[in-house]
Structure 1
Amino acid sequence: MAEEKLTYEAARDELLQVVAKLESGTLSLAESMEVWQRGEKLADLCQGFLDGAREQVSAARKESAQEE
């Protein structure tokens, strides 16, 4: 699944699965590295969604303040 097509919620849920896999301790080193890299991509994607939402809220607040 391409990162661009994931929603925030889907990326977050997959990231939680990644964390659970890593915490299980059952993966080989190579598998752990692969799963960790996927987790990094998902974390970056989630952060992008959150940053975008923060910018939208900030812009709306500024617009609202200017209208008053």
Structure 2
Amino acid sequence: MSKEKELTFEQAMEELEQVVEKLEEGDVPLEEAITIYKKGMDLSRLCHTKLKSVEEQLTQILREDGELEEFATEEE
């Protein structure tokens, strides 16, 4: 299992914020910036996947009688 898959959502977001800060500083050599950017994209995909998984879990709620019921959320 890769390191990214072991990260929690919060850890991935924290690392992603660090990546953004490094890139925004602008004093990173081009080759390093590309590597950092790729890492950021991987972290972004991981966060998206984790959020999508949680969203799918939350689309069903358990009724009082123990039956699952679809739960629709309004998207912005």
Q: State the TM bucket, normalised to the shorter chain.
A: 0.7 to 0.9
Partner residue in 1 for 2:45: 44
Equivalent residues, number: 65
Q: TM-score, normalised by structure 2?
A: 0.78
Which has more strand, going by share of residues?
2
Percent identical residues: 35
Task: Give a deviation string over 1:37-63, Cα, whole Å, max 9, x none.
Answer: 000000000001100010010022792
Partner residue in 1 for 2:10: 9
Report which structure shows greater RCO (CA 8 Å, sep ≥6): 1
Gaps of 5+ in 1: none
Root-mean-square deviation (Å): 1.9
Task: Give a deviation string over 1:6-39, Cα, whole Å, max 9, x none.
Answer: 0000000000000000000010110100000000
* Runs of at least 4 residues off by over 6 Å: none
Partner residue in 2 for 1:60: 61
Which has more helix, going by share of residues?
1
Q: Judging changes above 3 Å, is the alpha-carbon distance between structure 1 residues 53 and 32 closer, same or farther for their aligned structure 2 residues?
A: same
Gaps of 5+ in 2: 71-76
